[in-house]
Copies of this chain bind each other. A is one copy, B any other.
Amino acid sequence: MAAQRPRRQPTLDEVAERAGVSRSAASRVINKAPHVSRATRDAVERAIKEMGYLPNRTARALATQQTGIVALAVSHDDPELFADPFFAQVIVGVSAALEETDLHLLLCLASSVRGRSRLTNLLQTRGVDGIMLMALHGDDPLTHIVRRAGLPAVYGGRPLNFEPQWYVDSDNLGGARLATEHLIGLGRTRIVTITGPMSTDVGRARHRGYREAMIMAGLVPYATAEGDFTEAGGAAAMKSLLDSHPDLDAIFAASDDTAAGALRVLIDAGRSVPADVAVVGFDDLGKAERTDPPLTTVHQSVQALGREMTRMLVGLIAGHEPSSVILPTKLVLRDSA
């Protein structure tokens, strides 16, 4: 297996020469531009086939000022966080949508300071045509960079302290309401919630959904404990709630991980689920099916999130003015409530 000689790719000039036409004519054929005679087209197409010509991406990018690449930035402090299945789903959605275009995906895990500055540089040096950002703090320097770069940008989820012009988000508020209403419909009244971090929009929205549903049903929000979307956080919160409100009869957890943690604590405390305590989670990213008992939860389609973000970005790049999207969530009934 000798190292194959990297045969130099033929250039447009060579193709044109072989076809006996000018470079401009050849270019027109390739770009399916008008004003090309049948004869010219045929000649060029034959030359292309014979020589195995393929236009050089970089050269084209320089001429058109379009790289054909979009970035997906995940700007988190902890690189491990990327291991969350959430991101995998986003990427699958993004990739699927991108497959219908000529664009490619550049993935930026910008957790460290160095990572961020690399990303910044990428944007400022016009290395990509647009960028998708997974919700980061509104005061993240990245948001400024992105705005100053004047690059098309869409957000996945909303940062807390500013409303991006273009974003795609799940209907967290509606989903939380749905979950709570379901518990109410079950006849539960002492319904508590374990929230996500209140420093995030998701956390707040899901909490508000809970409160609104309670209040609209004429109930008082029975108790609230702040979690952090993790299983450990859910367990801790559950313990303190069980302490302070031992008679609770239902719980809305802001994530499935949270719910899983709560579930464990409940079982350990001898409560049976759903008989004594009904539990509803949020996310439905696989884990909900594997808890014991399987979790009734609010489903959000993360792939759809990725897909819509991509479509929106592609639209922006094409010069359209898309409008932000909120994706529906729905209740999935399993055994825990």
Please determine whether A106 and B69 come into contact, CB atoms closer than 8 angstroms: yes
Q: Which parts of A33-57 form the interface with B (CB within 8 Å)?
A: 54-57
A5 pairs with B150, CB closer than 8 A: yes
Chain B residue numbers with a CB within 8 Å of A115 are: 95, 99
Shortest Cβ distance from A70 into chain B, in angstroms?
A: 10
- Among B4, B79, B89, B150, point to the contact of A83 (Cβ < 8 A): B89
Selecting from A21-29, A118-126, A173-181, A182-190, the interface stretch reads: A118-126
Q: Are B69 and A125 in contact (CB under 8 A)?
A: no
Report the bound CA distance from A105 to B122 in whole Å.
11
- Per-position 1/0 for A79-120, Cβ under 8 A of B: 110111101110110011001001011111100101100100
Instruction: Contact check, A91 vs B107: say whether CB atoms are below 8 A apart.
Output: yes
> Contact between B79 and A96 (Cβ–Cβ < 8 Å)?
yes
A217 contacts B by Cβ under 8 Å: no
Q: Does A272 contact B (CB under 8 A)?
A: no
* Pair A58/B56 contact, Cβ less than 8 Å: no
- Report yes or no: B82 in contact with A92, Cβ–Cβ below 8 A: yes
Whether A275 sits at the interface, judged by CB under 8 Å, is: no
B4→A150 contact, CB < 8 A: yes
CB contact between A92 and one of B58, B80, B114 (< 8 Å): that residue: B80
A286, chain B: closest CB distance, angstroms? 8
Whether A7 sits at the interface, judged by CB under 8 Å, is yes
Please tell me if A270 contacts chain B, counting CB pairs below 8 Å: no
| Cβ-based interface call for A147 (8 A) | yes
A1 CA / B80 CA spacing, docked (Å):
35
Q: Does A165 touch B at the CB level, under 8 Å?
A: yes
Segment with Cβ contacts to B, from A59-67, A134-142, A191-199, A325-333: A59-67
Asked if A149 is an interface residue, CB under 8 A from chain B, the answer is yes
Contact A57 B92 (CB under 8 A): no
Q: Most chain-B Cβ atoms within 10 A of its Cβ — which of A58, A67, A114, A149?
A: A58
CA distance A115 to B124 in the complex (A): 29
Knowing A4-B150, A5-B150, A88-B87, the reply to whether A125 touches B95 (Cβ < 8 A) is no
